[in-house]
Structure 1
Amino acid sequence: MKRRAMPLPRTLIALSAALALAACDSQPALETAPLRGAAIGGPFALTGGDGKVHRWADYDGKWRIVYFGYTYCPDICPTDVQRFSQGLTQFEKAEPELGAQVQPIFITIDPARDTPEVVAEFVSNFHPRLVGLTGTPEQIEAVAKTFGVFFSRGREGEGGAYDMNHSNVVYLFAPDGSPVAILPANEGADAIAAELARWVR
């Protein structure tokens, strides 16, 4: 004889639904973040595309996406910047209030060519709130070291053109300036949006 499934009490159904929703909405504690406690990031004063001085402390209270690259990069830099910009846009559409609390920052590692005007034009092609920063060679070397970024100038080609060798890492920092995670730009915009949803709160 077949047994009929017994209907669940309404209170149990409601509790199950609530628990399922809570599980979907849960986020890991920031104490468990992959970069928690890492010595990455710190004070700087660099020149923005607007010609003004921008300091790390100016973004206190904001979540920060930080990427080091250069505007003359033929492929990797614009691809990475486009992906994290698109990922942030996706996150903003899903979570407008939280998305507005994320500040994307691009810092050049090629200050000889990346003047404030050049950096401003470059970042204008991506996210509307993306800030582009440059500085003196000494300033850029110091800030790259502070953020654990390697870079070096490549060989010169015809006409004095050259590439830059550098580590391409998309960092996410918490509102207090502490490092949280590396955003997976190599996996595309969807992965970036998912990682932002995982940590930003």
Structure 2
Amino acid sequence: MKRRAMPLPKTTPFRRATLALAGALALSACDSQPDLQTAPLHGAAIGGPFALTGQDGAVHRWSDFAGQWRIVYFGYTYCPDICPTDVQRLSQGLAQFEQANPERGANVQPIFITIDPARDTPETLGQFVSNFHPRLVALTGSDEEIAETAKAFGVFYSRGREGEGGAYDMNHSNIAYLFAPDGAPVAILPTSEGAGAIAAELDRWVR
């Protein structure tokens, strides 16, 4: 039986997500924020150029996002639990940050890159991202393109055993990276701690 892309759990859809914590985020002046040279991932060899296909069918390059802060997460749309939960929290965290800091929040671009290009077509990705942040860009490509991109971003993945009807899961690292406008890695966003913690981490680093 053909599986459909896993939608956002009905009990916690992004459209109904509360932004109650947004008002609690303090507006941080740039001179009160830590120097980026003290960032957890400063100097790490994470990230690199790519040219992948978006849910809109167009080619998107890493260089297209130059000048923007970037949230990058690797996953797949058929993921039964972790991926939709992480992307939901990232979307809610960014929304909270945007509400408290409109100008800084508008310069943060969320990016989802599939590690399952065989099933994650642009159309499938379009259905998936419609459940989350309105500016979320989802990317796919050939097996070789995805493998090269994942390697550049320090992401591990492998295909699991095939089950009934040809269904399979993907094993992968679930890390949400924050990158600076120049493409340098800054920090790992705490998806396991919820939207409020993500918003606070964005507030800590995003200028």
1:40 partner amino acid: I
Match of 1:135 among 134, 141, 153: 141
Cross-structure match for 1:155: 161
Q: Report deviation, 1:174.
A: 0.1
* Alignment pair present for 1:40 and 2:40: no
Poorly superposed stretches of 4+, deviation over 6 Å: none
Larger radius of gyration: 1
SS in 2 for 1:148: coil
Query: Which residues in structure 2 correspond to 1:47-86 (within 5 Å)?
Result: 47-86=53-92
Match of 1:195 among 194, 198, 201: 201
Aligned length: 181
The 1:114–1:94 alpha-carbon spacing in structure 2 relative to 1, beyond 3 Å, is same
Higher relative contact order (CA 8 A, sep 6+): 2
CA RMSD for the aligned pairs?
1.5
Q: Report deviation, 1:22.
A: 8.2
- Check conservation: 2:158, 2:172, Cα contact below 8 A: yes
Q: TM-score scaled to structure 2, two decimals?
A: 0.85
1:82 partner amino acid: Q
Q: TM-score scaled to structure 1, two decimals?
A: 0.88
- Check conservation: 2:28, 2:203, Cα contact below 8 A: no
1:100 partner amino acid: A
The 1:56–1:22 alpha-carbon spacing in structure 2 relative to 1, beyond 3 Å, is closer
Cross-structure match for 2:24: none
Matches of 1:112 and 1:22, distance apart in 2: 43
Cross-structure match for 2:111: 105
2:172 partner amino acid: H
1:103 partner amino acid: Q
Matches of 2:180 and 2:101, distance apart in 1: 17
The 1:93–1:22 alpha-carbon spacing in structure 2 relative to 1, beyond 3 Å, is closer
Which digits, 9 at most, give the CA deviation of each residue in 1:93-144, with x for residues without a partner? 0000000000000000000000011011101110000000000000000000
The 1:156–1:99 alpha-carbon spacing in structure 2 relative to 1, beyond 3 Å, is same
1:154 partner amino acid: G
1:35 partner amino acid: L
- Structure 1: tracts of 5 or more residues without a match: 1-20
Matches of 1:169 and 1:53, distance apart in 2: 24
Cross-structure match for 1:115: 121
Matches of 1:45 and 1:113, distance apart in 2: 19
Cross-structure match for 1:164: 170
Q: Report deviation, 1:26.
A: 1.7
